[in-house]
Amino acid sequence: MELFETPLPGVGVRYEFTAEGGDHVGVVVRRDGKRDIALYDREDPDSCRGTIELTEGDASKVAELLGGTNITARLEELKHNVEGLAIEWVTMPDGGGLSGKTIGDGRIRTETSASVVAVIRGEAAIPGPEPTFSLAPGDTVLVMGSATAVRQATQILTG
């Protein structure tokens, strides 16, 4: 079976595959932990026959019923640690840290060697923000670097 993965900026990742029985299935893994399952129309692959929204807990139960194990959660963690590279999504707090300040104010790259590679604000994705970019409460900041550097950067970002 061939599995197609499509990043959905600000939302998560969509996975699509065609089941052995011929059904075209899509699963959206959202950043908030929820999952959306879609079954596409066989006659019109652009049309959806129906969707189901699952909470993170619902998805875990369904995975158990389908034969999944806790290894799935571990594999998801490992995707974020590849050859010494750590990736973390950090939600900016309502106050403190760098909320209301610029990325440059935190001197993250200089102090930790980690990099702020993107910011998600609402539905907008801002890739490669400049040091002059102001962070706002609720922004989601993508930080990359070594595990230690990412931990340090997260502390600077959140206070």
Whether residue 71 is predicted with pLDDT greater than 70 in this model: the reply is no
29: its two tokens? 């893994």
The closest of 57, 58, 1, 6 to 27, measured between CA atoms, is 6
pTM of the model: 0.53
**Residue 126 near residue 65 (C-beta atoms within 8 A):** no
**Residue 157 near residue 97 (C-beta atoms within 8 A):** yes
The closest of 115, 147, 142 to 131, measured between CA atoms, is 115
Find the distance separating the first CA and the last CA of the chain, reported in whole Å: 45
**Exposed / middle / buried, residue 71 (Cβ in 10 Å: 0-12, 13-18, 19+):** exposed
Mean pLDDT of 30-39: 88
Q: Which tens digits make up the pLDDT trace of 104-136?
A: 999 999 999 999 999 989 878 888 999 999 999
| CB proximity list for 60: less than 8 A, separation 6 or greater | none
Q: Identify any residues that bridge with 6 across adjacent strands, giving them in sequence order.
A: 14
Whether residue 33 is predicted with pLDDT greater than 90 in this model: the reply is no
Task: Enter the DSSP assignment of 155.
Answer: H
What's the pLDDT score for residue 104?
95
Q: Which tens digits make up the pLDDT trace of 38-65?
A: 998 888 877 888 889 988 888 877 877 7
